[in-house]
Amino acid sequence: MKQAVVHIVGAGVAGLAAARTLARSRQCEVVMHEARAQAGGRRRSFYDETLGLDVDTGNFPLLSSWSSALSLIEAVGARGEWREETEPGVAFADFSSGERWRLRPNSGRAPWWLIDPGRRGPGLRLSDYWALRRLSSASKTATVASVGPNSRAAMDRLWRPLCVAALNCPPETASATLAAAALRELVRSGGSGMRLLTPVHSFGRSFIEPLARRVERDGATLRFERRLLTLDFGADRLSGLEFENDRIDLRPGDALILAAPWTVAASLVPGLEPPRNLSTALTVHFAAPSPQAAPTVLGALGGLFQWLFSYRDRISVTVTEAGAYVDAPNHAVAAECWRGVAALTGLSDALPPWRVIRSRRSLAWTPEEAARRPTCRTAWRNFFLAGGYVEGPLPDCIESAARSGESAARACLERVG
């Protein structure tokens, strides 16, 4: 008897994680369909001729507490493609004051670092951190700013950069419940879960490509340049998939995991509303080796960009609130960013080869958006959703995408197993 076929549309992190779980189960055939000519989705890599380098569509660090993402890396033998910080925490620099510091949690679960002024950051008090307990009891409509510390230093030097990084919006609009969930996971893991990891080369080489190869070795089929146009829905099951050049009819037992971005899923699924809050972000890559002593990741306050990443062959910056620069010429954006990079690193003011990437539209996790997250299971028994936007304990990130793909695969196996 022929096995059931599970089709996965979207070969990003969520889709590949789902394919890995399904292929390893040996309970079904797995066929992946990707609209582009390569895997990776929103987190893909490409060769830039101007820079002469492989670069990513953004900067994609991991945390050492992200168990699903790290398990996938270990499983595909790509651990050596990641550079892990030797100690927990993150470095910061303030353009306006010239101050530099590092949040330095201790490695254990008991957070004694909070009583050490040298570890918790300049101007930050123990009470600023203690006030975070209010996040855990916040209502679903509360923002971080409405329940967080009142201290300006705490808001500007801690919660604003962290909210923008994790929730893609400032504390004044960021969901308190999602912030609490993310912090809860960090607290449970202790300082050992707060070490940052960055790709040695590119996210594609360090995560996407080895995972795609492993999925194929496990028996899954990957098909590229396959743009899904419509889905055929019956009363209680999905009956077919219409692509640009062909159609697939689903037999009894077959299923679909739609691992596409929320906006794409909403255009295909009846009753699924698109996201309402999208923030504009951009990434600028510079073909300049970073100084040896530069921190791998540096939070920057008071400048155009919010995060600076030092790789072996390039320096990259992330502008997380880039709405004001949508119409600015790329050269002007690159030049202004490089002035900030030079000020922080001591490198020459001469602008090196650069590439501006404006393609990222990130979900802004306001309380309203968090309340609208769909679940993995749908009204159709053979149809499941996967992606970082799907309901879960974390906002949209690599870890939430990996967990969502694995959860969708397990739910699917309950149907086809």
Domain membership flag for residue 251: yes
CA distance 223 to 403: 23
- Looking at the fold, whether 262 and 391 belong to one and the same domain comes out as yes
Domain membership flag for residue 167: yes
CA distance 157 to 302: 10
- Looking at the fold, whether 113 and 254 belong to one and the same domain comes out as no
Q: Which DSSP state fits 402?
A: H
The DSSP result for 117-151, as a single string, is HHHH-TT--HHHHHTTHHHHT--TT-BHHHHS---
Domain ends where: 134, 158, 193? 193
- Looking at the fold, whether 182 and 213 belong to one and the same domain comes out as no
Domain membership flag for residue 57: no
Nearest alpha carbon to residue 165 among 284, 44, 305, 270? 305
Q: CATH code at 209?
A: 3.50.50.60
Which pTM value belongs to this model? 0.94
- Looking at the fold, whether 157 and 119 belong to one and the same domain comes out as yes
- Looking at the fold, whether 263 and 150 belong to one and the same domain comes out as no
Kindly report each contact of residues 387-393 with a partner whose C-beta sits within 8 Å and lies 24 or more positions away, as own/partner: 387/10, 387/12, 387/14, 387/259, 387/260, 387/261, 387/262, 387/265, 388/13, 388/14, 388/363, 389/261, 389/262, 389/275, 389/363, 393/181, 393/182, 393/184, 393/185
pLDDT at 330: 94
Domain membership flag for residue 383: yes
The total domain count for the chain is 2
Domain membership flag for residue 58: no
Q: Which DSSP state fits 81?
A: G
Residues 6+ apart with CB under 8 A from 63: 186, 193, 194, 195, 196, 197, 399
Domain membership flag for residue 103: yes
Domain ends where: 164, 193, 222? 193
- Looking at the fold, whether 118 and 243 belong to one and the same domain comes out as no
The DSSP result for 96-114, as a single string, is TT--EEEE---SSSS-GGG
> Crossing angle for the helix pair 398-416 and 13-25, nearest 10 degrees?
40
- Looking at the fold, whether 167 and 216 belong to one and the same domain comes out as no
- Looking at the fold, whether 239 and 374 belong to one and the same domain comes out as yes
**10-residue block means of pLDDT along the chain (417 residues)?**
91 98 96 96 93 94 96 95 94 94 91 92 89 86 88 88 90 93 87 94 96 97 97 95 96 96 96 90 94 93 94 93 82 96 95 88 90 96 97 94 98 84
Q: How far is CA 141 from CA 97, 147, 331, in A?
A: 35, 11, 40
Domain membership flag for residue 396: yes
CA distance 46 to 202: 9
pLDDT at 152: 87
- Looking at the fold, whether 109 and 188 belong to one and the same domain comes out as yes
- Looking at the fold, whether 146 and 231 belong to one and the same domain comes out as no
- Looking at the fold, whether 125 and 250 belong to one and the same domain comes out as no
Q: Do 386 and 405 meet the contact criterion of CB atoms below 8 Å apart?
A: yes
- Looking at the fold, whether 209 and 188 belong to one and the same domain comes out as no
Quote the domain boundaries for residue 217: 5-45+203-274+368-416
Residue with tokens 């008991």: 110
Domain membership flag for residue 317: no
Domain ends where: 134, 160, 193? 193
